Amino acid sequence: MVMKFKTRIDRFGRIVIPKKIRNDFGLSVNSEVEVETTADNNIIVHSKPAKPFVLDKDGVLVVCSEPTEPFENFLQKDRNDRIEKTLKEI
């Protein structure tokens, strides 16, 4: 079904996607969209489906998320924790 709505560009260059369309396409705050221009001077907005949080890859559950800290910090903290634990056991 084709829907048409009119909207305006605000002073910051933003447009509002009407609520009906956002709901129909599952768009919410921070949803990604792709904006494309065509040779015949049209602008197309594509919805980008949200990535699932957990994927099943060959029987292994894989969490798809952004790190909360640099990976190097995580590794160093993990190393320090293992060293500390080993020293306590001695």
Domain limits, the chain: 54-89
> For a pLDDT cut of 90, what percent of the chain falls above it?
42
Tokens of 55: 């994927």
* 55 vs 9, more confident: 9
Instruction: Cite the beta strand spans of the chain per DSSP E.
Output: 33-37, 43-47, 54-57, 60-63
Give the pair of three-digit tokens for residue 56.
């099943």
The predicted pLDDT at position 52 comes to 67
Looking at the DSSP bridge assignments, the partners of residue 44 are 36
pTM as predicted? 0.49
* Whole-angstrom distance, CA of residue 2 vs CA of residue 54: 33
Q: What is the DSSP letter of 12?
A: T
On the CB side of 55, CA atoms within 13 Å amount to 8
pLDDT bucket at 17, cuts 50 / 70 / 90 = very high
